[in-house]
Structure 1
């Protein structure tokens, strides 16, 4: 009965994914809840959950996304049902493509193609499209043209096409036009771009695809000096611009801004420039909110998972300690009985029993110290986790500062910055052990030092915590996003306020408090 209830709950959570298609935070939370309810009972559900989480973190946390996709692939390769494998290989290839590891991307696109059933023409065509995209990045546009043409031919051989297949066919043709343009075949590229545009407009396609087509076509018109066509295209852009979402509206205004700049329209240029500033600020703000929500959600699930693991570890340790104490208690009782029996014999036997009791007492003390050490390790474990979260937030704050810089391609920079943040979070073991400390201990220390030295500022109090942990200037400057020179200046000011000698070690003084 319990198993049926769990399956019902997992199924209901799966349905929730379709109720909030645009709310990534709710979807991520729902997937984690599905994993918790499934608890490893169904391998295929575990594969789906890891696959879904990989896709959710693809843009915001590439390293985490790769770890989820690897778990899904490893599990799916070990079970009988392997229907998801082609899509898992495809996703891992795309992750490598996003990282710029194009040879590895091609390897996994090939694996996906080999495992796809022959009747899955849409997905097979998609792989050839991916080959084209990858060879384009490798500056081999002739190979890219051949690959995408193969994909187009495969999909066109299927009759009739579904709306999804027709849309993807138009999308592939748009990629073909781009490769032709980069090869200098402007006439062929223009013809395909126009064909792609007609399909999007007649099929009421997503506005993102339409504005992407407009952008490519405008670039071609500008390159070939077709001013009338460029002017006509900008009229279409102006017509749809008010209805576009923020990201697409930025692209539309960049087209108009470029056109006004070339045509000398100062008023239009000023209007679009101001609008671009507002749109980019809005885009950055929305992304910051989204990133913060996802980061908080991820930290919450990590803490929940680690807390559960700690509770299990504590429980196991407690049971082990009880068992050891029982053995020790039994040994003491046995020793006492033996002692009474031997007491009636000679003095030599009596000394033997006394020595045995001393050994038992020593073992008991060692056991008690071991229990204390285990509890201290658990306490340090939670302290380490708290400061790890604080370190992540410090990096995110640095990221917010970087985003205030005006860039042309904010999306590409955002991807790059997220990759760097996740790399920085792989702190080496030495720094990890040195930096982490508990919030509770820090609060007590700050309260005491504030009372003893009221002239210290909030910034100086925070640095005292780092100095107390014996961190050097380089490590502290990394955490505070400042220079080592600034940290040394603060250190001198703190020592002056504490009336310490110039040669007196500040870290030793703070550690002794």
Structure 2
């Protein structure tokens, strides 16, 4: 009886998923629908559903496995959940129950997040079956009871409830309660007009009546199935129906002690069992091959995902490195800019200080130059006064106003004052403060100049004319003119070169 239940459950699952996914393709209008990759995945997903119906598990699993992350990424929660649910069905079919549970749990969580009640109920029913087959009957029983207690008006949902009722009965120890649920499943099956469901319900009624000792009703129900066995010879469920029918008939006739018929149907049952076991053995081999191929596909997919992740990580690392580089470059540029601005500011301050210093120095030079000019003029005035005084003394001698010795002594003092080097040394000291490199430059260019010639050059540098120079050195202007001529010749200056201009440009 349990085999018939599982068969009906699988038919219910695939039918529901096909209808749901087809509807999804007709109604999906999310913002991501303009994505070529997304549209391609939707088309591929429809093909995977068809492959699943044709038991092409590896190909369909590969599509579901690749499509689920893309649907999640693009926000299509419903199709992502259905991908996980379909992968759960594939794992359940090949008896990889733990992996099936993992995928059904993912699907259940996604259906819950979008309040897709019907899909969630189908998912919980599948979870219950996996729990039951993996040694967790309490969890299976709780989930099945929860689905049974829901109000499910639509035909597709009625089929779900029938499948859950059949499965739930396997966990019951109370035969009366089991009978109640089998009768409820039978009544619901009649509403669907699904011949396969109705026959399964009738056969289960036969079994439950046999268990309760109502052999007449049990025989009635099993004969209905027996009479209809060869009406649908092409149906895939014929062998399972036959086997369960022959088993019940054999046990009924054994109860009635009609041993010949009991033995006949027992042989028929054993033939069906042999055929069923052969089919199971073939399926087991196929399942092993499918498991291996799926594991290989999963490994390839995981490797591909790992490569993508590594590329993304490398891209992120490069992006971070470039960002850090840009930030560091920005900081360096900013610091260099600030440094340049600081240097500009410093240079500006230094230029200002230098300009101020130059102005101050210029003012000092001008002041010293004025002082030197003043002292020179005073010296010239002094010499002029001394010369006049000398002339007056000579006049006094001629008129007899002073005696000759006195006149000689006074003239000696005056001549001594006129010829003193102290005036020149004082002048030279002040002159060097104003023009510190003048004499060195002059001597470097004309090393043969005498002290008197250097003195003449200094006076020319002071823009003094011949008469003024003559007064300073207490000679006749003609003497100064001759000295200028000789010095120019000694300096090897061309005739068209002005001595005054030449001297003035030195140390400028």
Query: What TM-score bracket applies, with the shorter chain setting the length?
Result: 0.3 to 0.5
Which protein is bigger by CA-based radius of gyration? 2
* TM-score, length basis structure 2: 0.44
